Amino acid sequence: MKKLWMRLGCALIAGMLAAGCGTGGQKMAVEPATADKALTERDGGVAGRQGEMQSEKPQQQEPKPEERQSEGTQLEKAQSEEKQSDGAQPEERQPELLQPEDRQPKGTQSEESQPELPQSEEPQSKESLSEEPPSREAQSDAAAPETQLLPVSPFFTIDDADLQDKISARLNRMSLEEKAAQLFIITPDVLAGSGEPLTAADEGFKAAFDAIPVGGFIYMGDNLVDQDQTVAMLAAVQEYSEERLQLPAFACVDEEGGTVTRISGTGKFRVPTIGDMSRIGKKNDPDRAYDVGVKIGTYLHDLGFNVDFAPVADVLTNPDNQVVKLRSFGDDPNVTANMAASVAYGLASQRILGTYKHFPGHGATEADTHEGYAYTERTKEQLLESELVPFQDGIARGIPFIMAAHISLPNVTGNDVPASLSEEIIDGILRGEMGYDGIVITDALNMGAIVQEYSSAETAVKALQAGADLLLMPEDFAAAYQGVLDAVANGSLSEERIDESLRRILRVKLGYLGEE
């Protein structure tokens, strides 16, 4: 317990000191002082966009004697039971990760660096120990203590000294075509036009990348053969990106653990098997969640990834939901917030950028957006009380990516437009009311909920108009890319709007990834 609180306290002080080195108080996603508040009222009636989010010491129940084992033993036991079913102008400083000293090779972590479980309160006196225990009826009537949110500290910090000048200089050197390309995350197969899973970044791939230098790639299971092949391919892609634009590429993967993985549990990599997050949530153990993040982050970093589309921050408000049932940490907003944050801290300790998904919350739906239209009847008041709690908490901690879902919210927007294409949801609620100025990435744009209603070009333009920054896997990449260029030409989109997204993207690429 002491280590966990000391770690968070130290990171908070570091984050506060780093925040003082910013650009005149400019709001940025990784500066938690700009987002350390929560929504409290309907329709924008929020003082300064947010009310205070008070982070208090979480109340944990005393573990049973037989449960007091090392974190490593607990996780190994859980892993054996769980099977996968599958995805001022200061001197310039280096970006500071939370717990950079925790970086251990080969997925290990020192015993000293692992967060400890909260300890019990003052020992009971002899008199109290001699008292009769409460009856079962009294125990069942006693309400369980409410889980409190963990103290806020930044996932990582970026030194903004001179960074905005560097970003402006870089933008001035980029053509509109290069800017538009940076807005897309696609599979390497699509860029190469191979029609088959790409497993090597060969000369043909390099020529395609030189022509359209996209912002990054998402790698699926078929792209990943083994350790050596994956390391070589991802390293080659980064080399091409640096050569073409002097920028790193986002190397992304869906590695949640449990039912959604591309690496763990596939039998192709010698890495730990990570179980479903629903089990982690039931334990309500931030230390265990942090350890999961460290383990996933370690092998992703070793392979060459820098972005994980995890953790799932959906609150499971509909028990019949089968889409995120095993992927969610549960139905308690505060537990979900704490578990998601702990996993993201673990990822950040290994220099992996986490992604909260699926905004504004997929836990109340019944349908699957992969297949077609999906909606939630939740009102804005209900979202504020539940689904939005983990996302607001992540914003306060500086989560670098938030993924917008394709679910519709007719009781919030009054229409059936998916959240990923809704200006009211992204620009209005997520950015305007919740104060998020990090990178918004859409969920995959080749899902049924999108392609059954919109063309690829229309989808790309609508997402950018709504406030998204990165467009993930459009059904027809060539049409989507050209659609963005055409929209700028006809005035549907301004180049200033493109630059707005590029500034968020370059801030992470130049200020964080470029410093490793």
Residues with catalytic roles = 370, 443
Contact residues for 97 (Cβ-Cβ < 8 A; gap 6+) = 156, 348, 349, 351
First to last CA, the chain: 31
Are the CB atoms for 423 and 466 separated by under 8 Å? yes
Residue 360 preceded by cis peptide, ω within 30: yes
Are the CB atoms for 417 and 410 separated by under 8 Å? no
Locate 322 and state its tokens.
Answer: 């089968």
β-partners of residue 312 are 357
Contact residues for 61 (Cβ-Cβ < 8 A; gap 6+) = 145
Which residue in this structure is represented by tokens 């460290």?
Answer: 294
Are the CB atoms for 365 and 378 separated by under 8 Å? no
CA–CA gap between residue 244 and residue 8 (Å, rounded): 39
Contact residues for 132 (Cβ-Cβ < 8 A; gap 6+) = none
Buried b (16+ CB within 10 A) or exposed e, 225-259: eebeebeebbebbbebbeebbebbbbbbbbbbbbb
**Angle, nearest 10°, between helix axes 227-245 and 286-303?**
70
Nearest by Cα to 413 from 430, 397, 399: 430
Are the CB atoms for 312 and 357 separated by under 8 Å? yes
| SS3 state of residue 66 | helix
Locate 419 and state its tokens.
Answer: 């959240």
Helices and strands, counts by H and E, the chain = 20, 10
CA–CA gap between residue 213 and residue 200 (Å, rounded): 17
* CA-based radius of gyration for the chain: 23
Q: Where are the beta strands (DSSP E) in 327-408?
A: 355-359, 401-404
Cβ neighbours around 56 below 10 Å, total: 9
Classify residue 462 as left (phi > 0), alpha (psi -120 to 50) or beta.
Answer: alpha
Q: What is the largest CA-CA distance in the chain?
A: 81
Are the CB atoms for 362 and 318 separated by under 8 Å? no
Nearest by Cα to 292 from 335, 361, 341, 331: 341
Classify residue 56 as left (phi > 0), alpha (psi -120 to 50) or beta.
Answer: beta
Are the CB atoms for 431 and 360 separated by under 8 Å? no
